[in-house]
Amino acid sequence: MLFYAKLLLVAIASIMDYHLALWFLVVFLVIYILTQQPVFQKLGISNKLTPLQLEALLTEGKTSRYWLVEFRAQCSSTCIRASRIFPELSIAYSNKNVSFGIVDLGLFPNAAEKFGISLGGSMGQLPTYILFENNAEINRFPAFGFEEKFSHPHITKKLIAHHFQLDRLRIESVHGD
């Protein structure tokens, strides 16, 4: 709706004076470039964790067999764009065997090294998703040694679900394997 309103304003401004329309476009282009999309605040069925809480959950093993954890930083634009995906995945795939957690490496940067995540440069490894099974890392996205070349792969629910075989884990949970 707002997009159509902006187009209407540009059309009206261009009828009145094309200089006004150009200034309107320049101002909104600057606003678009300088502002960021807000972080998605809903958690779904995922838990915000500190690194100590994550370590305790993994070592105790009293909760879920699998933990899919998203490591992100709210200062990373890639993490902000992907922030909507993880809660939706947690709603679709959470069960007694699979739990979801989020660790904010912007708040706990020292934890990045423990989990093999590089925060250097443009934070090209964020967000990083790691699947743990009984305190052992079994899969991660992006893989070790990933260095951002030109752009981070576009993260989608389908990509994450396929990479971590979340459908298989859900079926295992149903069948009790």
Asked whether the predicted pLDDT for residue 38 surpasses 80, the reply is no
Asked whether the predicted pLDDT for residue 67 surpasses 80, the reply is yes
Q: Distance between CA atoms of 104 and 169, rounded to whole angstroms?
A: 25
In the prediction, which pLDDT does 11 show? 87
Q: Distance between CA atoms of 67 and 130, rounded to whole angstroms?
A: 8
Query: Span 8-34, mean pLDDT?
Result: 86
Bridge pairing between strands 46-49 and 98-104: parallel
pLDDT tier at 117, thresholds 50, 70, 90: confident
Q: Distance between CA atoms of 177 and 147, rounded to whole angstroms?
A: 37
Q: Distance between CA atoms of 101 and 90, rounded to whole angstroms?
A: 9
Maximal CA-CA distance, the chain? 70
Average pLDDT, the chain: 83
Asked whether the predicted pLDDT for residue 62 surpasses 80, the reply is no
Asked whether the predicted pLDDT for residue 68 surpasses 90, the reply is yes
Q: Tens digit of pLDDT for each residue in 16-25?
A: 888 888 888 8
